[in-house]
Amino acid sequence: MKYLKITAENYNEAMKKLRMEHGDEAIPISHKYVKQGGFFNSKVFAKEVVELTAAVKERKPFQGHGQNQNQPPKKSTIDFIVDDKKEPTRLGKVQEILERASAVKDDFNVDSINKSIDTANDRLNSFKQPQIHSDFHDFSAGKEKTEVRIAEIHESVKPRNHTEAGIVTNIEREVNDIKTALNKLLEGQKQTPGTCDEDHCFTPFKEMLRANDFDPEECEIMIKDVKNSISREDQKDKYKIEKSLKDLIKSRIVTSGPIKKGNKKKIVMFIGPTGVGKTTTMAKLGAINSLREGKKVSFITIDNYRIAATEQLKKYAEIMRIPIHVISDQKHFRDVISKEKSDIIMVDTSGRSHNNELKISEIKSFADNVEYDFEKILCVSANTKKGDLKEIFKAFDVMKFDSVIITKVDETSFIGNVVDIADKYNKPISYFTDGQEVPNDIHIANSEEIADMIIRTSIE
């Protein structure tokens, strides 16, 4: 054992220095407060510090296998000479990597890399490492001896304790992170605004399609189609990807335009599940066709289940001076249609669950055997789940509806779910609604605007 003294401002600092310099094997024996410094080495103005006395196990210098301790070690192809403290360590390599990283970092304004390099340097400087030097001798000769010698040295330079091992491991990890970041930066070079790594550029668009409830297989097909439609260079430009994807979505959206007047009289029936806003939607279109376009419009309701809905429609009809008829059965329905002189007769139906086939068949019976131009429009809410939409389209498909109105667009950020199902059933979209105000909150559907609504969240 050998004894040493360490001075510090307090006992904790002294212990920290002891552990950092000599590891856990160092044994503190005693400590006392002493005066240090002072005016002309006197005790005047001297500073009180802690003097820690500790015992440290002496380490023998490294000796090669079969080598006499009284003889100097024989030099192999590569001979490593350590400093007088005889504390060899791998941190020399760390120092070399840090110096190379520091030389490169000035070329790039990357705050995260600068911070990592500075942190690693600070930690490296706080850990007293021995200096390792190497003399290079005839590298081509004695290959096997060299490998043995290097293996022996690696064994000898292992950290002496858990504290030192942890410090070395952490620094090596930080340096590896720096190297990885620098390699990525060097490979990617400096990118212009709007450009990115190819896969990274497509990520927000994949997420946007999934958020809009497009089927996973459909998402992959659409992304693949976009990649095939633009060059490899354009695949790194998110704005060109957006334009290509928007054009693809537009090509899948079919619109039918506004309700058109028939040769004689036109009958328009609004069908769909409960709570999607059929009555309000019909009132909006009634106001537009009668008040704005000057057509003769009349209302028919066959909703005998919801008294409130019937009263609401009567109130709209009164304000707009539109005749309204409350129908009880199919015969009454046909009689009113034959006698009505309006250009467009709008029919409000009671909401029916897509699981109730009997009630849907009941609504269908009103539309059967009518001689006039008959248009059936399915109203669905934009915030309906994809699974329910599939069932709704499937259930009402027996009525052979002509187009779709997407309601309550203002209540959700994603309408791709309806667009995707309508595309699968080859049904055009005629209108979409985005509020309760009559008649303003309804719009004629066009593929450009709908595609914008679908894709607007991809870059935001």
Q: Using the 8-state DSSP alphabet, how is residue 399 labeled?
A: G
Neighbour count for residue 441 (Cβ, 10 Å): 17
Using pLDDT thresholds of 50, 70 and 90, give the confidence band for residue 353: low
Lowest mean pLDDT among 51-60, 257-266, 316-325: 51-60
Using pLDDT thresholds of 50, 70 and 90, give the confidence band for residue 87: very low
Bridge-based pairing of strands 27-36 and 47-56 is antiparallel
Using pLDDT thresholds of 50, 70 and 90, give the confidence band for residue 171: confident
Bridge-based pairing of strands 266-271 and 344-348 is parallel
Bridge-based pairing of strands 429-433 and 324-326 is unpaired
The predicted structure's pLDDT at residue 139: 43
Residue 150: pLDDT over 70 = no
The predicted structure's pLDDT at residue 42: 57
Residue 76: pLDDT over 50 = no
Using pLDDT thresholds of 50, 70 and 90, give the confidence band for residue 408: very high
Answer whether 36's CB lies under 8 Å from 49's CB.
Answer: yes
Structure token pair of residue 206 = 């994949």
Using pLDDT thresholds of 50, 70 and 90, give the confidence band for residue 36: confident
What pLDDT digit, counting tens, does each position of 219-247 carry? 899 899 999 988 888 888 888 888 999 99
d(CA 303, CA 288): 23
Domain covering 266-444 assigned CATH 3.40.50.300 in the classification: yes
pTM of the model: 0.57
Q: What's the rounded mean pLDDT across residues 340-358? A: 82
- Mean pLDDT of the residues in the chain: 77
- Comparing CA positions, the residue from 446, 445, 271 lying closest to residue 347 is 271
Answer whether 348's CB lies under 8 Å from 301's CB.
Answer: yes
Residue 153 DSSP SS3: helix
Give the DSSP per-residue string, 31-86: EEEEEE--GGGSSTTPEEEEEEEEEE---PPP--TT--TTSPPPP-SEEEEE-TT-
The predicted structure's pLDDT at residue 161: 57
Mean pLDDT highest for which of 142-156, 183-197, 443-457?
A: 443-457
What pLDDT digit, counting tens, does each position of 362-398 carry? 888 888 878 788 999 999 999 999 899 999 999 999 9
The predicted structure's pLDDT at residue 236: 83
- Comparing CA positions, the residue from 457, 389, 405 lying closest to residue 211 is 457
